[in-house]
Amino acid sequence: MTAVGPELAALAGLLADETRAAMCLALLDKRAWTAGELAQLCGVARSTASEHISKLIAGGLLDERRQGRHRYVRLADDDVASLIETMSAHVRPAAVSGLRQHRANAALARGRTCYDHLAGRLGVAITDAMTTRGLLRRDTGFALTAAGLDWFAELGMSLPDREKRPLVRSCLDWTERRDHLAGPAAARLCQVVLEREWAVRIGSKRAVRVTPLGLDELRRHLGIEAAELGS
């Protein structure tokens, strides 16, 4: 057995529990949740939820912050979010029962946030359009081109120092089974899309819907047509 074998098994064990897995999926919306909110979501007692949360914190998957009597938790960082999303892409979806669940799943597939960046058909369409327009290179991993950096600047989207952390990376989309754009630049793009109301959150806190304004802006700046988004 390799030196990291026991640690890898322990990490896998954390997500092998259905309740803990559901908590991590919910926390992909990047909000801080209370133990009570997660307990209600998962249909378990608050004390049971707290036990699961403590295990996830000890395993390095969650961070916690206490404010008064409340205990808020969120995913530890975007690497953990990427791990959850990538693992989800390898899951064979269960059969959907009920119209409500079908609609919720369809909304997530059309567009959603994956922690701090855009995913679903929306995220993949943006990634493909940036590649086609020469804004993004994908030959040796993801990297913004000079034209891509100019594109962000022209749209008034400031980016962090490139020397501290790569601006972009790939993230495997669990519904499209293809890579979408992640990293600090993708997080900034997601922030701007929501701030300028090119897309708005709907239903599930992760699902987003492109607005008529957003359709016009995505067509103008990236050549994306409504049919590519299933809109």
Of the chain, the end-to-end C-alpha distance in Å amounts to 50
8 Å CB contact between 112 and 119: yes
Task: Give, in degrees to the nearest 5, the angle at Cα 41 between 35 and 45.
Answer: 55
Angle between helices 35-42 and 46-58 (to 10 degrees): 110
* Euclidean distance between CA atoms 213 and 44, whole angstroms: 41
Which CATH number belongs to the domain containing residue 69 in this structure?
A: 1.10.10.10
**Once rounded to an integer, what is the mean pLDDT over residues 32-56?**
92
Among the listed residues 29, 40, 108, the one whose alpha carbon sits nearest the alpha carbon of residue 74? 29
- pLDDT tens by residue, 157-204: 988 876 567 899 998 888 888 899 999 999 999 999 999 999 999 876
Distance of CA 175 to the CA centre of its chain: 12
Q: What is the pLDDT of residue 102?
A: 63
CA distance 27 to 15: 13
Instruction: Please check whether residues 153 and 110 belong to one and the same domain.
Output: yes
Q: Are residues 61 and 106 in the same domain?
A: no
Domain of residue 11, residue span: 5-76
In which residue are the tokens 């999303």 written? Answer: 85
* Structural domain includes residue 141: yes
Residues 103 and 69 placed together within one structural domain of the fold: no
Average pLDDT in the chain: 87
Whether residues 36 and 147 fall in one domain: no
pLDDT digits (tens, 9 = 90+) for 19-42: 999 999 888 887 889 989 999 989
137 and 195 housed in the same domain: yes
Residues 215 and 130 in one domain: yes
